[in-house]
Amino acid sequence: MNGPHAVLARQTEALELFGRRVHAIRDDQWGARTPCTDWSVRDLVGHLVSEQAWVPALVRDGATVDSVGDDLEGDLLGSDPVAAWEAVADASRAAFAEPGALDRTVHLSFGDMPADDYCAQLVTDLTVHTWDLSRAIGADEQLPDELLYFAVREVTPHAAELERTGLFAAPEEPPPGADVQTKLLCLVGRRP
């Protein structure tokens, strides 16, 4: 499956997979370290909540980062991080599923981007961070093949640039015969 239906199917899959991991976090794990340098489990979930919280404004409303201002700054998790995740995941899914949504242009801090590319970036981030969260809380780390292949296609052309953003470690060379999950994790500087 290619085209808009593929990215929406992967978005739904990625949101649901990450959501299952969020629901699996025990009360004593929110402060646990993750493979993301300097991030606790709460920080990691907060990052994904923040990313998804932007989607309705940027995709549905055509807002700019400046017009949203600081409305989405700070701790969006509140006292119930699981409920916060569910709310933003539902809103993000709905915004991208609107007729014509993937044909729009989103106005990001670094410039304009087609909404389907923006959705693909978010899917890739969700996929990688699902692994991070799984590792941090001791959940099943194996990710679905469809998401892995999708994310590898998205990351491969940009792998060298990711380190320069400061958000990713340097890519690792995958071992010979590595499976697709190992390849993805190595591309984004993880040590599987």
Per residue in 24-44, pLDDT tens? 999 999 999 999 878 999 999
> How far is the C-alpha of 26 from the C-alpha of 163, rounded, in Å?
32
The reported pLDDT for the residue numbered 145 is 95
Among 12, 3, 1, CA closest to 96: 12
173 or 91, greater pLDDT: 91
DSSP state, residue 57: I
Q: pLDDT by residue (tens digit) across 32-78?
A: 999 987 899 999 999 999 999 999 999 999 998 888 878 888 898 99
**pTM: predicted TM-score of the whole model, two decimal places:** 0.93
pLDDT tens, position by position, 125-143: 999 999 999 999 999 999 9
SS3 69: coil
Q: What is the CA radius of gyration of the chain?
A: 16
Q: Which residues pair with residue 33 across a beta bridge?
A: 40
Q: How many of the other CB atoms lie within 10 Å of CB of 130?
A: 24
